Each structure stands twice: as structure tokens, then as C-alpha cells.
Amino acid sequence: MTGPDPIGELGASISHCRICRDCPAKGEADRLPHEPRPVVALSSTARLLIAGQAPGLRVHESGLPFNDASGNRLREWMGVTRDEFYDASRIAIVPMGFCFPGYDDKGSDLPPRRECAPAWRGRVMAAMPQIDTVLVIGQYAAAWHLGPRRKGSVTDTVKNWREYFLVNDGPRILPLPHPSWRNTAWLKNNPWFDADVLPVLRRVVDSLMGRTNFG
Ligand code: SF4
């Protein structure tokens, strides 16, 4: 006889969520225009959590988080293989919006659905108390995980990563820019990220993946 499985039960509840289709926060005009497909990787053992933005179309179609060029860059930043990245026993992946939000008029991905974090995020974090470090990717994750402690821009928040990584009540927070190709110019213009932040990220990942000891 197996015991209770809170992570499995929460994952099942999330997979059935249809809030953005059935009762969108901003009314009928804001209804999600496609069938929701929540894409998360919850874990009862992972000590590393990736808090991303929202799935893109390719992720929506495959059901695999970061199964795109952004994911390739993120894996390179972290120094992990695809197999390691998708091992939910070691890495949990929970974006700010679990479903692909669709496109705006210019063909860009819409922001994460506003309904998702209030409905789920507190429960998700409470269900994974073993998380040691959260990789906070982009402005929406920074807003939720850092609240008023974040700076006025993602650049300044990432630049001040020590404030969140070295001193935090809950898990350590390491803020990152989004690994999207759209941020290639940002990466060129902010070489300190490569020089200062990525080595720390790789050491943290090494440690939490059980390869080395780190702090
Ligand atoms: S985005 Fe979140 S709240 Fe909206 S339908 Fe998907 S899981 Fe539910």
C-alpha cells in the first residue's frame, strides 16, 4: 500500500486546471483562445527550482518545458545536459503561467496569465519545502519571488543578485535574464553577467546536482 502523494495530487489538479478558459480574470474578451495545457515539473526531491515565465507554442505542443532555443541557452548557462535538465528528481520547473498564453497583435508571446500565480504558486512552493535555490527568470518571476525587494529593471535585479542569493528567508534566489534569443543584445551589452553570474550559477547547479559542495 502506498502513502499519500501530495506532489502527484497537486500535479493532477494542475493538469485539470481550466481557469483561463472557463473564468478568465478580465472577462470573456480575455478568455484563453486555446485548450489549456499546463506544463510544469513538480518534485518532492529536487533542490533546484527553475521559475520561468510561460510556455511558448513549441513547449505547448510538446508538453516539455524549455524545449526550445531558450532552453538550449539555459542549459548551456547551467552546464547541464538535456537528460539532467529533464530529471525531475533533481530539477523542478514551474513557470509563472503554466499554459501558453497566446500571441499579442505583434506576434510576440503574451505575458504569463495573471490567473495562474494566485491560483497555484503558493501551493506549489509549499509542496516543495526541500527547494534550496530558485532560478528566477525574468520580470514576472522576480515580481512574485522578490516582491518589493526587486529593482526597477531585470538588469538591476540580476546585477544585485547577491542581495537575494546570500540573504533570504526562504530558498536562495538567483535572478537571471530570460535566455530568449531576444536577449542576445542584452547579453552582449552586459558582459558582467557572463563573468560574474554564470560561474556562480554553474557552481550552484553542480552542488545541487550532487557533483560538488557549494556553500
Ligand atoms: S495558465 Fe494556470 S490558471 Fe490558467 S488554465 Fe493554465 S494552469 Fe490554469
Tens-place pLDDT, residues 135-177: 999 999 999 999 999 999 999 999 999 999 987 688 999 999 9
What pLDDT score does 214 carry? 62
Q: How far is the CA of 26 from the centre of ligand 1 (A)?
A: 14
Q: pLDDT (tens digit, 9 = 90+) per residue, 62-71?
A: 999 999 999 9
Closest atom of ligand 1 relative to the 54 alpha carbon: 1
Average pLDDT, the chain: 94
Label the pairing between strands 91-93 and 133-137.
unpaired
How much is the CA Rg of the chain, to the nearest whole Å? 17
Q: How do residues 99-138 score in pLDDT, each as one tens digit?
A: 999 999 999 999 999 999 999 999 999 999 999 999 999 9
> 20 CA to middle of ligand 1, Å?
6
* CATH class name, domain 7-208: alpha beta
**What residues flank ligand 1, with Cβ below 6 Å?**
14, 17-20, 36, 38, 97-99, 113, 115-116, 119
Residue 83: pLDDT band by 50, 70, 90 thresholds?
Answer: very high
**pLDDT of res. 35:** 96
| Number of the ligand 1 atom closest to the C-alpha atom of 97 | 1
- Name the residue at shortest CA distance from atom 6 of ligand 1: 99
pTM for the structure as a whole: 0.95
Integer Cα distance of 18 and 25 in angstroms: 12
pLDDT band for position 210 (50/70/90)?
A: confident
The domain limits of the chain are 7-208
Q: Ligand 1 centre from 167 Cα, in Å?
A: 31
- Closest atom of ligand 1 to 18 CA is 5
Q: Whose CA is nearest to atom 2 of ligand 1?
A: 116
Assign 95 a pLDDT band (cuts: 50, 70, 90). very high
Confidence of residue 213 (pLDDT cuts 50, 70, 90): low
Atom number, ligand 1, closest to the C-alpha of residue 17: 8
DSSP code string of 142-184:
HHHHHGGGS-SSHHHHHHTHHHHHTS-SSSEEEEE---SGGGH
